[in-house]
Structure 1
């Protein structure tokens, strides 16, 4: 989460030393009390800030695309959105199967985001359409879309092979020569012992909801605790610059960097 979703590809091109340099520039940004350390609360607040900034910037950037000709009385209509993204009504008849599937998903998500059911979205509703994971009333849509993406045999459930297949691909670990990493076995056990509540070998809608959109779960808090647990080598409850740099590979893939562009900045004054 330090890097920003928009800049993930660029960051992949950085050397370890470049990553460490940019991460070091970010440290003062997180150190709110300026004591030279990053406490859990500071990390949590930074993650929340980055999450909010990424979502707001992303929504605003796309919302501006419609302002001049499509936004009427502060709202965007479904037909206008569909025409700009998928073409005219006549064109949609000739969409490929994949685009037709995307259109159907967008329309379903649009209706869920349309809180006042007027078939138009204002800026807030549009934000929920673009980022349903940030809106409580969109939880079921997020769960449904996730099941559709993972459920390869289209039986409406997610079995253990689909669950593991979504996060692990053997080709990404050629050095293991077909042997599964330890964390994969841990995920298999997690599926059996914790995810699959009714022990039927697959996850239903409710079990999927508890996995990916649990009520009351604070992602920023969980991520902050995770980073402290991983990087706090001297177990003093806070992170020094040296500890953060030593665990740079953990941080550059974390929620703390993933929602902003900060590590792509070259000028420390911009951080």
Structure 2
């Protein structure tokens, strides 16, 4: 279940001041969106020279990531109601793949807020994972799925924040038959979420031996520190089309 996007705006849009979830350039602070595609990423000073004619969105301190996919949006596996998607956009979810938890089309679907699993064993076995809410109100926030895999349950079965995030984003797209690199690299579809400024970290799967880091030189994309809650989606974009927007309410964002 996904919105059929309207034609992407003709004018390129340049997001600056951001922290970009990109494996190609985790230090990128600017992203150009053109024709429904991520056209360029890189440092802000270069962006202002190379893309000075683009409409600028100055989203200082905001994290920009691929959107979430709910791989089990209802309790009974049925299609969610039409009103579901509008609410989901406000949470950073842009697609639903109806069905029940379990093995589906080569992907193991989990509803981690409803029932635990041996997450680390599954990933070590090379099992492709996707995550969903099962329509539960307390699982509506997709960051709660990531938190469940990375921060809750038996310590010995927790996985890294990044692995959990990829299951909640790239895994759902794989189930839907729409492969995605899992990060915002040039050439990827411009379907993404701009999150409010938040403490960001890099955290490994084993808290006993891994350390926290906020240094982008680690070359690992940063994610929110979920021990303090979840960030709010300020803007959700599908193929270049804005489908949820709170950025416009904040002064100084559009230029």
Shorter-chain TM range is: under 0.3
Higher-Rg structure is 1
- TM, length-normalised to structure 1: 0.24
Higher RCO (C-alpha 8 Å, min separation 6)? 1
- TM, length-normalised to structure 2: 0.25
Structure in which a larger fraction of residues adopt strand: 2
